[in-house]
Amino acid sequence: MILLTFNIISEDFTYKKKEGINSADQLALTLTTTKAILRSLEQYEVLATFFIEISLLSQIENLLKQIRNEGHEIAFFHQNSSLDEIEIAKKRTEELLGKNVRGIRIEENIFPAEALKKLQFNYISVIDDQQISFPLKKLIRKAPFTEENGLTFIYQSISPYSQMPYNDFIFQLTPLIYYQNMVVETIKKDEFVLVNLNSWQFSDVKKLPFHLPFYRKYKVGKTMQDKLDRFLEWINLNQIATSRIKDFIS
């Protein structure tokens, strides 16, 4: 089983912000890249989970409806919101979409699990802390997921084939044939693999509102889009099951 996920964020605070790019430019870029991803998913009939940064929700309501209408899951991506802001955003989004928001992607231990459970989240997709080292670092192995008081914690998948995590950069950097082998081996061991990508990776690097280090500029934009298409085609040819996270944990 492949759990394909995309992070839709307004800014990547990991990198230094560029000057001269306004919020309207950023929003236009977000819409363009997300719609390109949606076209690929529709073409190959694959469903995914979109983690939307909370501050973006009110600005992209039509896009949220499109994501819902095409059958994908909408969950939240936490950067710097308070619990009160999360609660308000959840209520508004559920009223807009007529569907419950079940998941949130967040760094571990930012908020007590019971507080998120009280807001009626079903699962937490844990963000691994990669600020301390190069993104290729091998992670300490954790259980693929755990449960605590009715809340499921899903951790970043790690390949037994290479011991590398399935973060966004690994997909960007790794030759597709090697990545496919990683996926097969991980599914054999864990029965599923959580694939994590960022919508900004599908952008022209010159249009991004932040500066990327040299190794992060490698194969972004159209090259990344083409790679996603080939990956989705491979999934279908090999009849590998895919799922939205909320369906997988239910």
Give the list of residues 6+ apart from residue 188 with CB closer than 8 angstroms, or none.
none
Please tell me the predicted confidence (pLDDT) of residue 162.
82
Lowest mean pLDDT among 86-100, 157-171, 217-231, 234-248: 157-171
Bridge-based pairing state of the strands 151-154 and 145-148: antiparallel
Provide, rounded to the nearest whole percent, the portion of the chain with pLDDT above 70.
Answer: 93
pLDDT, mean of residues 152-178: 90
Domain architecture of the chain: domains with CATH: 2-249 (3.20.20.370)
pLDDT, mean of residues 40-63: 97
Amino acid in position 23: S
pLDDT, mean of residues 23-27: 81
What is the distance, to the nearest Å, from the Cα of residue 200 to the centroid of all Cα atoms in its chain?
11
Residue of 82, 141, 72, 134 whose CA lies nearest to 103: 72
Q: Residue 12: pLDDT above 80?
A: no
Q: For residue 57, give the 3-state DSSP assignment.
A: helix
CA-angle at 100, arms to 150 and 95, nearest 5°: 145
Q: Residue 51: pLDDT above 80?
A: yes
Mean pLDDT in the chain? 89
Structure confidence by residue, pLDDT tens digits, 115-153: 999 999 999 999 875 543 445 555 555 678 788 878 999
Q: Residue 107: pLDDT above 50?
A: yes
Higher-confidence position of 161 and 40: 40
Predicted structure pTM score: 0.92
Please tell me the predicted confidence (pLDDT) of residue 130.
52
Q: Residue 210: pLDDT above 80?
A: no
Q: Residue 217: pLDDT above 70?
A: yes
